[in-house]
Structure 1
Amino acid sequence: MPITVTVEPPRASGVEALLQLSDDYAFSLYPAESCYLLDVSELEKPGVTVFVGRDAGGRALGIAALVVKSDGAAELKRMFVHEDSRGQGLASALLTAVEQAASANGVTLLQLETGPLQHAAIALYERRGYARIPNFGDYVGDPYSVCYSKTLTPQLV
């Protein structure tokens, strides 16, 4: 099944439904205070880019967001693939798009937070060269947070 990954507004067709499924999934695994989910209005802020994976029919199957910080770093947020589309390489395609966009914007460090029960996500990040780091920012002290980072080579044009 051909998948395309493009930058889209967070209110584009099907994206809010994916965000809701992502919320439901996170809240089924972790306490609410350990779910650091950006809502649609936060995804619309400057410095945030939303990537959407769609099938040939235009159905939104996966999302990821890049949040660029002022210190040259960025954070991967809201990475989620619809349950019936997992195992087909979409998460990897989304991650590639995020990394390329981050590099193109001069980002040298890409960080992320996930949960210890998200084994497939952790395996993906580790395969892609992300290293486990101490929890940063809001995640410090949260036993339900696992943080990773990857050094990127900026591709400024």
Structure 2
Amino acid sequence: MNDHRPVSVECPPPGSLSAVPGLAALLTDYHLCTEAEKGAPVPDASGLPDRYRRETEDPDRAFADATVLVARDGGAAVGCVVVTGPVDGAAEIKRLWTAPAARGRGVASALLGAALEQAGHAGARTVRLSVWHWRTGAVALYERLGFTVVPSWDERADLVRMERPPA
């Protein structure tokens, strides 16, 4: 029997991200995990590259032109995703992260569904993302949700680029 509650996805108002309980920790975990996977582990947020550390320290400023969605289980933040506003018709999904203890419960799917809706409401004709090729579970999730691999718009090696229409 599954005794887990369904998660809820919220969209904190602009300017309030720094006050969202658990958001900074989710972003920090995302970046620390990514750096370790890239072979450049750092012990804490102070060792992150500047652009990523700024996201953890001041998400309002870092994501001023984007929408941040937070998944909650009760009061606890268990996942997040960032959706940029459309540029030339394309919105971008970034920083999708589910806390390890909440994985396997549909958190990422709920966040992606809300992100695709957000992109559609913002007028995007397509939604794109990039994912590290070693994150095979994430790639499989994106494919299940209708994303397809497309040619690169990003010069970094080891990234899979994917797109689909918004919801």
TM-score, normalising length: structure 2 = 0.81
The answer to whether the Cα contact below 8 Å between 2:91 and 2:119 also exists between their aligned partners in 1 is: yes
**Number of the residue aligned with 1:149:** 163
**Separation in structure 2 between the aligned mates of residue 151 and residue 116 of structure 1, nearest angstrom:** 22
Deviation of the 1:31 alpha carbon: 5.3
Percent identity reads 30
User: Given the alignment of the two structures, is residue 3 of structure 1 paired with residue 7 of structure 2, yes or no?
Assistant: yes
**Number of the residue aligned with 1:42:** 62
**Separation in structure 2 between the aligned mates of residue 146 and residue 16 of structure 1, nearest angstrom:** 26
Which residue of 67, 88, 97 maps to 2:84? Answer: 67
Deviation of the 1:2 alpha carbon: 2.5
RMSD across aligned positions (CA): 1.8
**Number of the residue aligned with 1:28:** 36
**Number of the residue aligned with 1:99:** 116
The answer to whether the Cα contact below 8 Å between 1:65 and 1:77 also exists between their aligned partners in 2 is: yes
The DSSP-based 3-state class of the residue aligned with 1:135 is coil
User: Given the alignment of the two structures, is residue 55 of structure 1 paired with residue 73 of structure 2, yes or no?
Assistant: yes
The DSSP-based 3-state class of the residue aligned with 1:65 is strand
Deviation of the 1:70 alpha carbon: 2.9
Which residue of 84, 97, 108 maps to 2:101? Answer: 84
Q: Which amino acid aligns with 1:132?
A: V
Deviation of the 1:68 alpha carbon: 1.2
Shift of the 65–79 alpha-carbon distance from structure 1 to 2, 3 Å rule, reads same
The DSSP-based 3-state class of the residue aligned with 2:81 is strand
**Separation in structure 2 between the aligned mates of residue 52 and residue 31 of structure 1, nearest angstrom:** 28
Q: Which amino acid aligns with 2:166?
A: L
Deviation of the 1:151 alpha carbon: 2.0
* Count of residue pairs brought into register by the alignment: 145
Q: How do residues 102-141 of structure 1 correspond to structure 2 at under 5 angstroms?
A: 102-136=119-153, 139-140=154-155
Runs of 4+ in 1 over 3 A off after TM superposition: 35-38
The answer to whether the Cα contact below 8 Å between 1:62 and 1:79 also exists between their aligned partners in 2 is: yes
